[in-house]
Chain A
Amino acid sequence: MKNCEYQQIDPQALPTPTPTPPPHHGKDTEKKKEPRRPRRKWEVFPGKNRFYCDGRIIVARQSGVLPLTLGLILVTSGLFFIFDCPFLVKHLTSCIPVIGGVLFVFVLITLLQTSFTDPGILPRATPDEAADIEKQIDNTGNTSYRPPPRTKEVLINQQVVKLKYCFTCKMFRPPRTSHCSLCDNCVERFDHHCPWVGNCVGKRNYRFFYTFIVSLSFLTAFIFGCVTTHLALRAQGGKGLVFALQESPGSAVELVICFFSVWSILGLSGFHTYLVASNLTTNEDIKGSWSGKSGEDVTNPYSQKNIFINCCSVLCVPMPPSLIDRRGFLPTDESAQTGSADIELPTLAAKSEINVCTQGTKGLLESAALSPLLSTSCPQGKPQNAHSCPETSPALNSDPTSEFSKGCRGNHTSSSHGDTSHPRHTKARSKKCKREALHIPNPAFDVPVSPTSPDAAPDSKAGSHKGGSLTPLH
Chain B
Amino acid sequence: MFHNLQELRHSASLANKVFIQRDYSEGTTCKFQTKFPSELESRIERTLFEDTVKTLNNYYAEAEKIGGQSYLEGCLACATAYLIFLCMETRYEKVLKKIAKYIQEQNEKIYAPRGLLITDPIERGMRVIEISIYEDRGSSGSSSGSSSVSGSTAR
Contacts and interface: CB of A to CB of B under 8 A. Distances in A.
B26 A129 contact: no
Interface in B20-66: 22, 24-28, 63-66
Nearest to A14: B10
B130 A129 contact: yes
Contacts of A319: 77, 85, 90, 92
A323 B14 CA distance: 26
A250 interface: no
A129 B147 CA distance: 17
Contacts of B93: 321, 414
B73 A316 contact: yes
B10 A316 contact: no
A422 B65 CA distance: 26
Contacts of A122: 125, 127
Interface string B143-155: 0001101010000
A412 B77 CA distance: 15
Contacts of A155: 25
Given A8-B151, A317-B64, A412-B86, A312 B71 contact: yes
A208 B24 CA distance: 26
A123 B128 CA distance: 12
B127 A413 contact: no
A405 interface: no
A225 interface: no
B127 A457 contact: no
Interface centre among B78, B91, B130 (most CB of A within 10 A): B78
Interface in A292-316: 301-302, 309, 312-313, 315-316
Contacts of A473: 146
A211 B75 CA distance: 11
Contact of B14 (A105, A109, A175, A455): A455
A407 interface: no
Given A189-B28, A317-B70, A423-B119, A472 B96 contact: no
Interface string A447-474: 0000000011111111001100100111
Nearest to A421: B100
Contact of A466 (B63, B78, B147): B147
B139 interface: no
A207 B78 contact: yes
A174 interface: yes
Interface string A110-135: 10010000000011011011001000
A453 B25 CA distance: 34
Contact of B123 (A113, A188, A424, A460): A424
A161 interface: yes
Nearest to B91: A318
Nearest to B6: A458
B127 A461 contact: no
A320 interface: yes
A161 B151 CA distance: 49
Interface centre among B5, B119, B123, B146 (most CB of A within 10 A): B123
B70 A459 contact: no
A362 interface: no
Given A459-B13, A462-B14, A208 B127 contact: no
Interface in B65-113: 65-66, 70-71, 73-75, 77-78, 81-83, 85-86, 89-93, 96, 100
Given A8-B149, A411-B86, A105 B24 contact: no
Given A132-B19, A154-B24, A316-B73, 16 more contacts: A11-B11, A106-B81, A129-B130, A156-B24, A156-B26, A157-B26, A174-B22, A174-B28, A301-B27, A313-B66, A317-B64, A319-B90, A414-B93, A423-B123, A458-B5, A462-B13
30 contacts: A8-B151, A113-B82, A128-B19, A128-B130, A156-B27, A157-B26, A157-B27, A171-B127, A174-B22, A174-B127, A207-B78, A313-B66, A316-B70, A316-B74, A318-B92, A319-B90, A320-B92, A321-B90, A321-B96, A323-B126, A417-B100, A417-B122, A424-B123, A455-B132, A456-B132, A458-B5, A459-B9, A459-B12, A459-B13, A466-B147
- The 9 A-B residue pairs whose C-beta atoms are closest, nearest first, are A316-B74, A123-B125, A109-B81, A323-B125, A458-B9, A319-B90, A318-B91, A154-B24, A456-B14
